[in-house]
Structure 1
Amino acid sequence: MTFGITAFGACVPRLRLSRQAIGTAHRWMTGASPKGKGYRAFCSWDEDSVTMAVEAARDALGHGESRAAVTSLTLASTTLPYADFSNAGLVAAALDLDPSVRSDDRTGSQRAATTALIDAFARKQDGMLLIAADRPRTQPASALEQICGAGAAAVAFGSGDVIARLLGSAGISTSFADHFRPSDQPHDYVWEERWIRDEGFGKIVPKAVNAALASAGLTIGDIHHFVMPATIRGAAASVARTLGFKGDVADPLDDDCGYTGTAHALLMLGAVLETAAPGDRILLVGFGQGADALILEASGRTPAMAGARGVSGALSDRLPTDDYLRMLSFYGEIRPDWGMRGEKNDKPALTEAYRTADQLAAFTAGRCPACGAVQFPQLAYCVTPGCGTPARDFSRVSLADEPAELMTCTADWLSYHPAPPLHVGFVQFRNGARLLMEIVDVPTGVLDTGMPLRMVCRIKQTDTVRGFRRYFWKATPVALPG
C-alpha cells in the first residue's frame, strides 16, 4: 500500500489587519504614503501556537476513529509558549489523544516543519501527526510587521488512500544567518535583504533541490508546482528562474494571511494540494540555516475530500479590522492602562488543574446512566433532582465537537477583559449540555439567540507573574454574518 499524507488541516486566525492601517500608523516617521496591500492575520490575545495547532489538527482529523489512530504527535514552531514544558503534550491533551501517543516539540529553525516532514516520510509509520504553528512577533514599523501573519497546518500520515506521496528529498545544513532571535528577546534581528536573497536562497536552495531531484530520478522539467515560503517578496520567483523552472510558482498567501514562520511551507503546500491534478509533482522547499527540499506527487484527492476545510476555508473565515493598536496590545507591544480592574494575580492551582485535566483540557462532560443528563463540570453526584447517581458511573461525552447554539448573550464593557467587550452567554449543546461560556472573535452587535456555535481551544488566563497559561474552551460563531 502507498504511504503518504492522508489528511491535511489548517488554521488562520479570524482577525485580519489591513496593511494600509499599519502604513498609515507609521506615516509620521516614514514620510511615505501607505503602500501595503491586503491583510495580515494576527492572533487575538487568547491565541498562540498551541491553540492554533489544536485547531489545525482538529481540521485534519475531525473526530472519532481518525483521532484514535494517531500514534505520535510532533509540533514544529519557533514561538512556543514554554521552553521547559511539553507544548506538544498540551496539544495532545486538547485533542483527547490516548496517553500512549508519543509527543515532541521541534523548534530552533524556520525549516523545523519541513525537516520533520522528511523524518516522517523516512519513518513510514501509520498514525503520525505533524503540526506546524507560529505566531511571529514583529517590531512595530519594521518590514516584517507588514509581511508576517500567523497560522498553523497539520498533516496526518498513513497507508492507502493518500493525498500525496514522497518521491524524493534532501536536506542541507549550514550556519547561514539570515536572521536570528536570542531566547531572551521578543523580536528577530534580520540581516540585509540582498545578501539573504543572493547568497542564501540563490545558492543554498538550488543545492538542496538538485539533490532531491537526483534522489527522485527527476529533472526540474518534471515538476509542476514550486512551493517556497520567504519573507522576501519575489525570492521564490528568483529561485525558480535560477533552477530553470517553468511551471506554477505557488501563491505565497500574502493577500489575506502573511508569512507564518515554520507553518508557512505546509500552509502553502496545503493550498496547492487543494487544486493539484492527479500526478502533479510538487517541489516543496523549507529555508533556515540550510534548506530542505521534498518532491511530492499529488493523487488528486484533496483535503476537502477528507472533510477538512483546509487553507481556503481558513482564509475565507475572516474578521477584517483597521485597529492597529489592537494588534499591538494583543502582542504585548503596548501596555494599555486597564485601571484597577486589570490588577489581578492569577496564580494557577496546578494540582487542581491536573485532577480535572480530563474535563478541562479535552472539554469532556459526563452523561448520567440513570437520567441521561449531560453535565459539565462533573460534580461528585448527578445534579438532576432526585437522581444522585455517583459521577464514577458517568460515561465520557466530548463537548469540543458537539454542535451548539446560543441561548442568551451579553456584552460586558465593565469587567476587565483584554479584548473588550467580554461576550458571555448560555450555550445549548445538541446532546443536552448547557453552560455559561465566553464567546470570542465576534464584532459587537452580531450575536443573536439561535446562532450556531462551534468550540475553540483558547488561553483562558495568563499568570503574568509566573508566566503560566491556562487553556480552556470557548465558543465562537460557526460563520460570521455577511
Structure 2
Amino acid sequence: MIGIRAAGAYVPRLRLQRSSIAAAHAWFAPGLKALSGGERAMANWDEDAITMAVEAARDALHGRERDLVRKVILASTSHPFQDRLNAGVVKEALNLPDGVAALDIGGSQRAGTSALLEALESARAFDGDVLLLGAEKRRTQPGSELELTHGDAAAAFVIGQDELAAEFVGGHSLTIDFVDHFRSEGQDFDYVWESRWLREEGYAKIAPRALKEALARHGLAGADVSRFIMAAPQKGAAAMIAGAAGISASAVADDLAQQMGGAGAIQPLILLARALEDADAGELITVVGFGQGCDVLFFRATGSSAVAGLGVSGWLARRTPEANYVRYLTLAGHLAIDRGMRAEFDQKTPLAALYRNRKAVMGLVGGRCAKTGVVQFPKTAISVAQNARAQDTQEDYPLADRLARIVTHTADGLTYSPDPPCYYGAIEFEGGGRLTVEYADVEPGRIEVGAPVRMMFRVRAHDETRGFIKYFWKAVPDYRAAIPATLAAE
C-alpha cells in the first residue's frame, strides 16, 4: 500500500490581528469590519516559502532517517525563484544526499493537492520515501479581503509504502478552466472576481460533481466519510459541498480560518496534517483541492501516529500577537520606509563560493575530529584541538538539529535590520561547537545567557540589485519549551 508515513507543519510565530487591519482601512473600506475577528499567520521578513518548507520538513522528519528520502516535491504559488529549483534549496538545507530527485509544482490554485497526487504516484516507483512539501507566503493587496483572510504556513508529508499512518484509497481529478481569481506574470496581487460566481458555479456545481464522481469511482458513499477537508474561504461552502454528496455536516473539518487564515493552494495540506494528529483507525479522510477544476483524495487512517514533531497544533500554540499594522506593511514590502544609510551596501553573493561551501552555508554542517572529538564550524582540514597536529581528520558533523545555548547576546540598534534591533551573539551546541549567529523570533527583554535555542533556516539578506536571496541559519528561542508540555512532548 501507498500512503502517508508522517506529517508535519510550520506556522510563523507572529499573528497579525485582523482588527488592526480593518481599523486601518475603516476610512475607505468599512465593510472589512465583518472580517475583523481572529488573526492571521504572518511571516516575518526573513521567512518565505522555502524557509517555511524547510521547517515543515524538519517537523515531519523528526526522529526519522533522512537517507530514505528519494524525492523532494515543493508545491507553492509563491516560490521565491522562478528558474532556480526551490526544492533543491530545501534539499540542501535538509542535508539530503545528492542522489535525490527534486521538483517544484506551482501555477495552480490546487497545487497542493495535485502535488500530493504526484507524490503518491512517485512513491510507487521509488524504493524509499517521497518528501512532499507545500508552503505559501502570498502577497495580498492592502485593503483587500484577502489581506485579512490569508495566512502564511507550510505542511509536509513523508510518502511511502511501509508503516503508514494513512493508506491512500484513491483519487480523482477534474480539470476545467473556471476562473474565479488569478495572478498574471509580473503582477504582485491576485485579481478576484465576484464571490457569487465562485459560489454558484464553482462550489455549487464543479466541486460536488468531482466529489460524487470520486466516491462512485472508488465504491464509496458519502456516509462512509469520517472527515471532510476542503479549504473553501466562503463561509458554509465546505458544508454545502459535503452535503451535496451525502457527507454529514459533523464530518466537515475546521478550516482554521480564525487561528491562522487560509494558506491558499496548500491549505488542504495543512488541514490534512492537522487531521492526522488524532485520526482514529479506520476513519476515511476526504481531501478536496479546488481551482480550475477539482482534486479529490481518499485516505484511510491506520491508527498509527503521523506526527512526531509539533504538528499544526504545536505551531499554532507557539504564537505572538501583532497589532502593529504599519510594521506588517513594512516587513511585507508594501511600505517603502527610509531605511537609512546603513542599509546602503552591496549584498552580492559569490555563487561559486556558495556552491563550494553549500554544506556549511545551507546545511549547517561542521566538522568533528575523528581523533580528538573536537567540533569545529566551519569544517577545516586542520584539527583545532589543543596541541593536536592532526590533518584531514574531520568528518561531517551536522549542527542544524542540535540544541544550543546562548553564550553571549547583543541587541544592536545601529546595525541595519529590516526588523530592528538586530540580535546576535555566540551560541554553544550540545556536544561541542561554537558559532556566532543572529537570533530571530526574540521578544525584547526575554533573551539571556544560558537560555536554550534551536536553529532555523532563514533569509539572511536580499540582494535587491540582482534579485538573489541569501539564506543561512539563525538561532531562535527553544520553541518546544514555548508551547504547552502536552504538545511539546517528543
1:245 corresponding residue in structure 2: 247
Residue of structure 2 equivalent to 1:338: 339
Q: Alpha-carbon deviation of 1:313?
A: 0.7
Q: What SS does the corresponding residue of 2:269 show, helix, strand or coil?
A: helix
Aligned residue number for residue 118 of structure 1: 117
**Is 1:396 matched with 2:399?**
no
Per the alignment, residue 286 of structure 1 pairs with 289
Deviates further, 166-175 or 244-253: 244-253
- Give CA deviations for 1:432-459 in whole Å, capped at 9, x if unaligned: 1111111101221111122111110001
Q: Which runs of 5+ in 1 are unaligned?
A: none
Displacement of 1:426 in angstroms is 1.2
SS of the residue aligned with 2:118? Answer: helix
Distance 2:140 2:32 in 1: 21
Q: Secondary structure at the match of 2:238?
A: helix
Aligned-residue offset at 1:132: 0.6
SS at match of 1:466: coil
Match for 2:139: what amino acid? R
Structure 2 equivalent of residue 265 of structure 1: 268
After TM superposition, the structure 1 stretch with the greater mean CA deviation from structure 2, 93-102 or 472-481, is 472-481
How many Å separate the matches in 2 of 1:135 and 1:464? 19
Provide, for residues 243-280 of structure 1, a one-character-per-residue CA deviation record: whole Å limited to 9, x for no partner. 23214111111122111122211100111122222111
Equivalent pair of 2:113/2:266 in contact (CA under 8 Å): no
2:150 aligned partner: 148
Q: Which whole-Å CA distance do the structure 2 matches of 1:189 and 1:366 have between them?
A: 50
Give CA deviations for 1:175-204 in whole Å, capped at 9, x if unaligned. Answer: 111111012111111111010111012111
* SS of corresponding position for 1:103: strand
1:106 pairs with 2:105 = yes
Letter in 1 for 2:118: D
Q: Distance in 2 between matches of 1:478 and 1:38?
A: 26
- Quote the residue 1:326 is aligned against: 327
Paired with 1:30 and 1:74, the residues of 2 have a C-alpha distance of: 40
Give the corresponding residue for 1:158.
Answer: 160
Q: Give the CA deviation at 1:31.
A: 4.0
Deviations 1:52-97 (A, max 9, x none): 110001001125x521100111110000011111000000010111
Q: Contact 2:229–2:271 (CA<8 Å) still a contact in 1?
A: yes
Query: SS of the counterpart of 1:74?
Result: strand
Give the aligned residue type for 1:19: R
Output the CA distance in 1 between the equivalents of 2:7 and 2:254: 18
C-alpha contact 1:169 1:211 (8 A) present in aligned 2: no
Give the aligned partner of residue 372 of structure 1: 373
Q: How does 1:49-448 map to 2 (within 5 A)?
A: 49-62=49-62, 66-123=65-122, 124=124, 125=126, 126-246=128-248, 247-304=250-307, 307-390=308-391, 392-448=392-448
Q: Are 1:134 and 1:261, in contact at CA under 8 Å, matched by a contact in 2?
A: yes
Q: How large is the RMSD of aligned CA atoms in angstroms? A: 1.6
Residues 303 and 309 of structure 1 are in contact (CA less than 8 Å); yes or no, is this contact kept in structure 2? no
State the 1:235 CA deviation. 1.7
Tell me the distance in 1 between the aligned counterparts of 2:95 and 2:32: 50
Letter in 2 for 1:9: G
The 3-state SS of whatever aligns with 2:313 is: helix
Q: CA deviation at 1:33?
A: 8.2
Q: How many residue pairs were aligned? A: 477
Deviation at 1:370, TM superposition (A): 3.4
TM-score, reference length from structure 1: 0.96
Taking the aligned partners of 2:360 and 2:50, their CA distance within structure 1 comes to 18
The separation in 2 between residues aligned to 1:385 and 1:192, in whole angstroms, is 70
Distance across 1 between alignment mates of 2:361 and 2:6: 27
Whether the aligned pair in 2 keeps the contact of 1:370 and 1:387 (CA below 8 Å) is no
Residues 432 and 261 of structure 1: CA distance in aligned 2, closer, same or farther (over 3 Å): same
In structure 1, C-alpha distance between the alignment counterparts of 2:448 and 2:482, rounded to whole Å = 10
Q: Which consecutive aligned stretches of 4+ in structure 1 deviate over 6 angstroms post-superposition? A: none
Structure 2: stretches of 5+ with no match in the other structure: 484-490
Tell me by how many angstroms 1:299 deviates: 1.2
Give, in angstroms, the shift of residue 113 of structure 1.
Answer: 1.7
1:477 aligns to what? 477
Query: Is the contact between residue 5 and residue 160 of structure 2 (CA under 8 Å) also seen in structure 1?
Result: yes
1:347 partner amino acid: K
CA contact (8 A) 1:11 1:52 kept: yes
Is the 2:204–2:241 contact (alpha carbons within 8 Å) kept by the matching residues of 1?
yes
**What is the distance in 1 between the residues matched to 2:62 and 2:478?**
15
> Which secondary structure does the structure 1 equivalent of 2:69 belong to?
coil
Aligned residue type for 2:214: A
Partners of 2:32 and 2:270 in 1: how far apart? 31
